[in-house]
A and B are shown apart, each in its own frame.
Chain A
Amino acid sequence: MHCCVFSNNVPLEDEREMKELAREKGLLCMGPDCGVANINGAALVLSSINARGPFGIVGASGTGIQHVAAILHEAGSGVSQTIGTGGNDLKEPVGGITMLMGIDALEADPETKYIILISRKPADSVLNKLLERIKQMRKPRVVFFMGCDKKTIEDAGAVWAGNLDDCALRALELIGNDYSLGSLEDIKQIAKKAAEGMAPEQKYVRGAYTGGTYLDEGMRTMWDATGGIWSNAPLKPEWKLAEGADSKENTAIDYGEEEFTLGRPHPAIDASIRRPAILKEAADPTVAVIVLDFILTPPGHMDPCGYVVPDIIKAQEMAEKRGGKIAFVASVLGTTADWQDIRKQEAELEAAGVYVCRTNYRAALLASEIIKLRRNAK
């Protein structure tokens, strides 16, 4: 039996043992810590429901896989299989066993015409092993290993992608689909409108994320515009927010971290975990922008956006009473096939005055542009 293991905090040696046993038996061991896998069209664990298509994905980031698959779906294409490896597969002690097996399987699968690989930057020894394997692949492939330079990837015969959005767009190019997520100019226009009417002290951004991948992407994107972001999972250790401490200046919080989820389900399933963040952040008069992500998945909340709309409206009223307004910026990860329906979710947010962006990256770009305008405002 092939396995998809959602549990996390499994010691790396145990993970290696599990995966070696699976390899010996010729079985896929997706995870531990595998949040997304889409096998034969079934949305396992926290996947979205995706259209079937020619792209096979192997990824160590569940959100990453889901993100790319959702854009493929939106662009009219789809996935053959998506194989989640778990977040630790490409670490030294595990050695990328599942990603290598996943590549082998998708290379041999006649339904898979193109292969997409997604991960944070693998450990050096694992990266070398992977690059060797990528070099020998026969099918066209797009690789997004966060922080890996273009040349390294291209030397292995793969298409390089700079971020998750780019990864999906590069893949679509392989099938001649010139799908676009919109330009930076569009975002700048929206930012201007969003930044108008704020009170002079409103200068900061607050991010309330439901998972690490989007938090990371958000913070990287907003770093330069903000000059640094405090977090419970910061990009740099000196920006670490003390546990349980209130947000200050520019802050982004991952509500999927253990301090919030110990003994509770993931915030994608239990929407109440992040809910208090909205009113808490909005109570601070220096806040200009609040960034939110939403993830759609069958076991998740059936109306995650509608669930927080009353709080967003209340927050906006609080800001107005202070003579300002808050720019709510959000993105929804999911598809039109998801039971929650991404169009319906987006419409609910838009009706509440939220600036809904196509992707998390673009939401962070919009937040950055607004902050730039606010920092320069007199």
Chain B
Amino acid sequence: MTDVSKALSLFRSELVIVNVGPKSFADVLEKQGYRTLQVDWKPAAGGDKKMQEMLEYLGGY
């Protein structure tokens, strides 16, 4: 059995959602009455593997 105390405390506490990515997901959670924090994030190079490898070679970003 894994330790589920943190999951149980999640179920018992007020939900705060940190939304990482498209803001539309946070907007609809706000509209449902939940607290959200928006973090603007996009996948590296739009998720393009080839670009990521070239960027890595050039020292990242």
Contact = CB atoms under 8 A, between A and B. Distances in A.
A and B touch in the complex (CB under 8 A): yes
Interface of A: 1-2, 6-7, 9, 23, 25-28, 39-40, 42-45, 49, 80-81, 100-101, 104-105, 108-109, 111, 263, 269, 298-299
A104 B4 contact: yes
Contact of B11 (A43, A81, A100): A81
A42 B10 contact: no
B31 A44 contact: no
A101 B18 CA distance: 22
B28 A299 contact: yes
A111 B7 CA distance: 13
A39 B47 CA distance: 28
Contacts of A49: 32
Nearest to B10: A2
Contacts of B17: 42, 44
Given A6-B25, A104-B1, A109-B7, 18 more contacts: A25-B6, A26-B3, A26-B5, A26-B6, A27-B6, A39-B10, A39-B15, A40-B11, A42-B29, A42-B34, A44-B17, A45-B25, A104-B7, A105-B11, A109-B8, A111-B11, A263-B46, A299-B25
Contact of B8 (A9, A44, A108): A108
Contacts of B25: 6, 45, 299
Contacts of A23: 2
A19 B17 CA distance: 19
A298 B2 CA distance: 33
Contacts, number: 69
Q: How many B residues are at the interface, by size bracket?
A: 20 to 34
B21 A101 contact: no
Given A6-B21, A7-B43, A299-B24, A105 B8 contact: yes
Contacts of B24: 269, 299
Contacts of B3: 26
Interface string B18-42: 1001001100110110100000000
A9 B2 CA distance: 27
Contacts of A39: 10-11, 15
A42 to B, nearest CB: 5
Contacts of B7: 2, 26-28, 101, 104-105, 108-109
B2 A104 contact: yes
A104 B28 CA distance: 30
Nearest to A297: B28
A23 B43 CA distance: 24
Contact of A26 (B2, B28, B32): B2
Contacts of B28: 43, 298-299
A42 B11 contact: no
A320 to B, nearest CB: 40
Contacts of B43: 7
A45 B29 CA distance: 9
A151 B9 CA distance: 36
Nearest to A49: B32
- Residue of A25, A27, A44, A49 with most partner-chain B CB within 10 A: A44
A42 B15 contact: yes
A43 B10 CA distance: 15
